[in-house]
């Protein structure tokens, strides 16, 4: 592809946060009319660079030009003018406003303008219909705070697609979308590029999607440019992984880290009960979740989310019958479920996981404190927290730093670490590898396998079929309406059968 004059040109970008150097002279150029894959491991500097482009952070040094004009200083941000639109990995919606208000708001920037609910709803329906027409018809009046992560992701993407921007920054936009929604998103992007010469900077850890949509790639490693504008047809997946400094294969080091982390123990710790299977039933579908089993959930979010909420005490009412030791199980809330030995980890770090205003030590010990009903970080907790950081190779300045000082993938490891020493009899995971790199995924896989080997039953929902095939003994599949359709076991668990059972492409 012959490169046009760069729409965005970044040269020698440097950014540090206190003593931590994140970007160390990074270069990148994006041309109009291309989808540019921006690749790198968690903590490499991708999100920091996107925040510099969008005006959320100021660079320490280096030059940054957009559409021939240098950015920074007293100049108006292209985000403010609508020339750059951003979908951040952690979604930036206002939960107290409706879907229509969130989507229409960027277009209603005039102080003297009169808000029109009818116009806002029309704007929202048009934008959402690009990806999910049914959701567009039924949800424009709902509060964003009442939506699932999956639904909020659709709203955030729709808001950006309808903005009329010259440059679209997409940070893990498909991390919680179904394959069908991802396909529609890519079709919209291609149409916008054809019609408007839009440029797209696309961040993803899903290699299949990168090759479906992107033209060229730039790879960042440790804050520096490792690969600059390589055509994707000129670089292999193996080479990309090597340039990122990642490993796509399980290794003994990750297994050893898992062993070390799980065997961190406090003197007062007691063993959680294992040995009794959990029976879940709905209509003619029945599934036994035995100790040490890794059970996958496949399909659109409605079905898996309903079962997860029933298992973890989130749902007040449920259609599912859940039994353990021959008795029906129903928890009054997530805290009661945790005290009964049910752990929960979500990929929605911002809303269901990380306690953003509390330090790392409080995040690591959150589950233990709920179970043991204590709040103060004692010396025992500090010692155990540091042991977990060391065992999981989590680089943090201090246990008292905020989680915002860590990359998204590292924050996800913090959520897993909460449960490692508690040995729950059931651990429920909802898209736990959302937005994390290959190495971190492998480390999380190793940790979960070790917990299962010690007798913890695991329920794992993922929209990545390849993940379910690799990890799960059994998979419960749901159709697009959220109804359970089949229980696939052992050799039946493959991408073709999962696609057939869910009605969703792999």
Report residue 264's pLDDT band, with 50, 70 and 90 as the boundaries: low
Tokens of 504: 């969703």
> What is d(CA 229, CA 104) in angstroms, rounded to the nearest whole number?
35
Report residue 76's pLDDT band, with 50, 70 and 90 as the boundaries: low
Which residues contact residue 135 at a Cβ distance below 8 angstroms, ignoring those fewer than 6 apart?
128, 151, 154
Burial class (CB in 10 A: 0-12, 13-18, 19+), 346: buried
Report residue 272's pLDDT band, with 50, 70 and 90 as the boundaries: very low
Residue 371 lies in a domain: no
> Which residues are paired to 99 by β-bridges?
none
Residue 397 lies in a domain: no
> What is d(CA 163, CA 86) in angstroms, rounded to the nearest whole number?
10
Instruction: Say yes or no: 231 and 295 in one domain.
Output: no
Instruction: Say yes or no: 238 and 324 in one domain.
Output: no
Instruction: Say yes or no: 227 and 291 in one domain.
Output: no
> What is d(CA 397, CA 395) in angstroms, rounded to the nearest whole number?
7
Instruction: Say yes or no: 177 and 283 in one domain.
Output: no
Instruction: Say yes or no: 192 and 334 in one domain.
Output: no
Which residues contact residue 230 at a Cβ distance below 8 angstroms, ignoring those fewer than 6 apart?
216, 217, 218, 219
Q: How far apart are the first and last CA of the chain?
A: 29
Whether residue 268 is predicted with pLDDT greater than 50 in this model: the reply is: no
What is the count of structural domains for the chain? 2
Average pLDDT over residues 330-350: 87
Instruction: Say yes or no: 18 and 159 in one domain.
Output: yes
Length of the chain: 506
Q: Is 180 helix (H, G, I), strand (E, B) or coil?
A: helix
Write down the pLDDT at residue 103.
Answer: 85
Average pLDDT over residues 222-235: 93
Nearest to 170 by CA among 179, 182, 178: 182
Residue 387 lies in a domain: no
Q: What is the β-pairing status of strands 278-282 and 321-324?
A: antiparallel
pTM: 0.73
Instruction: Say yes or no: 48 and 128 in one domain.
Output: yes
Average pLDDT over residues 403-427: 88
Instruction: Say yes or no: 148 and 277 in one domain.
Output: no
Give the angle 245-54-181 at the CA atoms, nearest 5°: 70
Whether residue 213 is predicted with pLDDT greater than 70 in this model: the reply is: yes
Top-confidence range, 33-37, 355-359, 421-425: 33-37
Place of tokens 């940070």: 171
> What is d(CA 359, CA 398) in angstroms, rounded to the nearest whole number?
9
CATH no. for residue 446?
3.40.50.300
Instruction: Say yes or no: 10 and 85 in one domain.
Output: yes
Write down the pLDDT at residue 160.
Answer: 81
Nearest to 313 by CA among 333, 328, 327: 333
Place of tokens 């076991």: 489
Domain that includes residue 350, residue range: 252-259+269-354+422-502
Nearest to 322 by CA among 416, 453, 488, 457: 457
Residue 43 lies in a domain: yes
Which residues contact residue 330 at a Cβ distance below 8 angstroms, ignoring those fewer than 6 apart?
313, 318, 322
Place of tokens 């059968």: 497
Whether residue 215 is predicted with pLDDT greater than 80 in this model: the reply is: yes
Instruction: Say yes or no: 132 and 273 in one domain.
Output: no
Instruction: Say yes or no: 337 and 217 in one domain.
Output: no
Whether residue 270 is predicted with pLDDT greater than 50 in this model: the reply is: no
Residue 377 lies in a domain: no
Which residues contact residue 414 at a Cβ distance below 8 angstroms, ignoring those fewer than 6 apart?
354, 360, 363, 364, 394, 403, 406
Residue 460 lies in a domain: yes
Residue 470 lies in a domain: yes
Instruction: Say yes or no: 217 and 177 in one domain.
Output: yes
Average pLDDT over residues 403-410: 84
Residue 317 lies in a domain: yes
């Amino acid at each position: 592809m012959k490169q046009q004059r760069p729409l965005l040109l970044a040269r020698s970008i440097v950014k540090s946060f206190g003593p931590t150097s994140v970007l160390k002279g990074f270069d990148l150029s994006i041309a109009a009319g291309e989808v540019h894959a921006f690749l790198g491991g968690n903590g490499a500097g991708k999100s920091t660079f996107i925040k510099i482009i969008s005006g959320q952070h100021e660079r320490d040094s280096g030059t940054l030009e957009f559409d021939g004009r240098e950015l920074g200083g007293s100049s108006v941000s292209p985000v403010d003018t609508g020339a750059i639109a951003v979908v951040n990995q952690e979604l930036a919606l206002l939960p107290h406003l409706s879907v229509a208000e969130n989507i229409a708001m960027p277009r209603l920037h005039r102080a003297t303008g009169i808000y029109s609910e009818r116009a806002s709803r029309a704007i929202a329906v048009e934008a959402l219909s690009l990806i999910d027409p049914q959701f567009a018809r039924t949800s424009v009046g709902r509060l964003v705070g009442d939506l699932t992560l999956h639904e909020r992701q659709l709203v955030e993407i729709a808001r950006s697609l309808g903005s009329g921007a010259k440059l679209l920054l997409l940070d893990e936009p498909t991390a919680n979308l179904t394959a069908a929604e991802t396909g529609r998103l890519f079709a919209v992007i291609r149409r916008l590029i054809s019609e408007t010469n839009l440029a797209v900077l696309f961040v993803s850890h899903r290699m299949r999607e990168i090759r479906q949509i992107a033209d060229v790639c730039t790879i960042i490693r440790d804050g520096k440019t490792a690969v600059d504008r390589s055509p994707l047809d000129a670089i292999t997946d193996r080479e990309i992984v090597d340039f990122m400094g990642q490993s796509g294969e399980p290794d003994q080091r990750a297994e050893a880290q898992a062993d070390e982390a799980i065997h961190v123990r406090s003197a007062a710790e007691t063993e959680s009960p294992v040995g009794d299977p959990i029976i879940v039933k709905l209509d003619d579908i029945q599934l036994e979740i035995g100790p040490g089993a890794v059970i996958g959930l496949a399909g659109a979010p409605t079905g898996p989310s309903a079962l997860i909420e029933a298992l973890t005490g989130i749902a007040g009412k449920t259609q599912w019958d859940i039994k353990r030791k021959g008795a029906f199980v129903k928890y009054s809330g997530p805290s009661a479920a945790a005290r009964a030995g049910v752990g929960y980890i979500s990929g929605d770090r911002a809303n269901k996981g990380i306690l953003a205003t509390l330090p790392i030590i409080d995040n690591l010990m959150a589950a233990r404190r709920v179970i043991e009903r204590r709040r103060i970080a004692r010396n025992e907790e500090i010692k155990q927290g540091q042991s977990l950081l060391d065992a999981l190779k989590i680089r943090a300045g201090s246990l008292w730093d905020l989680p915002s000082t860590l990359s998204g993938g590292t924050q996800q490891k913090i959520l897993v670490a909460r449960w490692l020493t508690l040995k729950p009899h059931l651990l429920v995971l909802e898209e736990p590898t959302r937005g994390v790199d290959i190495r971190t995924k492998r480390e999380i896989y190793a940790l979960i396998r070790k917990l299962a080997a010690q007798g913890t039953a695991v329920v794992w929902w993922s929209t990545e079929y390849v993940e379910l095939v690799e990890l799960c003994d059994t998979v419960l599949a749901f159709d697009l309406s959220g109804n359970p359709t089949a229980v696939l076991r052992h050799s039946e668990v493959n991408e073709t059968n999962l696609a057939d059972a869910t009605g969703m492409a792999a």
